Structure formats: C-alpha cells, structure tokens
Amino acid sequence: AEPAPGAVHVPGWLPLGRQRELVAACREFGRGPLAYRHTVLPGGGVMSVRSLCLGRTWVPYRYLDSVVVELPEWLVALGRAAVAEAYGSDGGFAPDTALVNFYGDGARMGMHQDKEERSGAPVVSLSLGDRCVFRLGNSEGRGRPWTDVELASGDLFVFGRESRWVYHGVPRVFPGTADPSLGLTGRLNITLRETGRP
C-alpha cells in the first residue's frame, strides 16, 4: 500500500523466523558496548523511547554514543532489499547508519521531521513486536492532515521521494499484541538511513 506518494507499506514483509532473528540481533546490539538510552532533547525533554545507533552517529543531540559499532553488512543488504521491494529497484541505497528504537510501557514518539540527514535517500523502517499506530503527516507542520496506519511485527515501511520530509510519529503502542514466540515485551523499530555526512 502507498498511503502517501513515496511512502510504501508492505505488511508482513519479514517472515516470523526472520523477525525472531532480528529481535535476537537487537538484543545483542544492546549487550555490547552500546546501550539503549533515553534521548535528552535540546529543550531538556526526555524521550520515552530508548534508542541505540549503529554505524555513523550524526545528530548532535540524538544517538550521541561516543562508541561506534560498525553497521553489519547483512543489515545493509536487508535495507537494499527493502528499497528494491518498495520501489522496484534499490536505487543504489547505501545506508551508513541504523537507529533502533525500543518502545516499552507507555512509550510514544511525538510528531517530528527527520531533517538531520544530508541525503535525499529513503528511510527504511522495520517493525518488530507490539502493534502500534504510526501517524504519517505532511511536510508543512505537526498538525493535520495526517493518515494513521497500524504497523505490526514484520511490516516494512519505506519513506522516500515526496514523503521523505514529512512529519511523523508513533502516538500509541498496543501492549501485549506481539506474537508470544518473539519473546518481546514492547516494540522495536529499526530504521536504516543514509546520513549523507562525511
């Protein structure tokens, strides 16, 4: 489905076995030198989501780990396959960073724009665990019009072209809706991006 131009939603793209492997990988990422942390925003607000960043960390206030853990090649390949699935070709997508967000009890993400990247390349989003409401807004501001889309474990979303700079957020996660075999309480979201930074 294409809820907005350039925003392609592929429900159930990842088979359950692959979802389990990704959940295990996300757990491992947090066991190494990196940890899932609450981001403190420039205004002093603390995000309810906990995040970890692999590869290049480029946003001054977000993803601010001093440790750099290389982005695994298999994740780069998965990102390419995702863009090819959405657009029919990977367009040379070369992600250099992965942001992993963990939504525990009551976590949400307010409407925002991802404008730190210096690249017009698409953003690939993979959802794991609990279902959520993803709000796809417009490029003008945080307000309406927006489209609410439910995202479930295994769903792929690619945001590129006209949708690359739209406001978006996650107003709600539905606790306990993940497949029990995932062994995940909460929701994980992996985004693959090109920072466009040196």
- Residue placing its CB nearer to Fe ion in the complex, 65 or 114: 114
Our finding on whether 150 is near Fe ion (CB under 5 A) is no
- Residue placing its CB nearer to ligand MD3 in the complex, 83 or 99: 99
Q: Is 9 annotated as a binding residue?
A: no
Q: What is the DSSP letter of 4?
A: B
| Burial tier of 156 (Cβ tally within 10 Å: 0-12, 13-18, 19+) | buried
- Residue 164 interacts with, from ligand MD3, Fe ion, none (CB under 5-8 Å by kind): ligand MD3
Sequence-separated (6 or more) residues with CB below 8 Å from residue 66: none
Q: How far is the CB of 31 from ligand MD3 (least distance, A)?
A: 21
Q: How far is the CB of 22 from ligand MD3 (least distance, A)?
A: 14
Residues that bind ligand MD3 (CB under 6 A): 99, 101, 109, 114, 123, 125, 157, 159, 163-164, 166, 168, 170, 189, 191
Q: Is 130 annotated as a binding residue?
A: no
SS3 state at 70: coil
Residues 116 and 182: beta-carbon distance below 8 Å: no
Q: How far is the CB of 164 from ligand MD3 (least distance, A)?
A: 5
Our finding on whether 114 is near Fe ion (CB under 5 A) is yes
Q: Is 112 annotated as a binding residue?
A: yes
Respond yes or no on whether the N-terminal peptide bond of residue 145 is cis (omega within 30° of 0). Answer: yes
Place of tokens 């090649």: 73
Sequence-separated (6 or more) residues with CB below 8 Å from residue 68: 55, 56, 57
Our finding on whether 116 is near Fe ion (CB under 5 A) is no
- The alpha-helical segments, DSSP class H, found in 55-187 are 73-87
Q: How far is the CB of 36 from ligand MD3 (least distance, A)?
A: 12
SS3 state at 82: helix
Q: Which range, of 49-57, 113-121, 125-133, 135-143, touches Fe ion by CB under 5 A?
A: 113-121
Binding-site residues, please? 112, 114, 168
Residues that bind Fe ion (CB under 5 A): 114
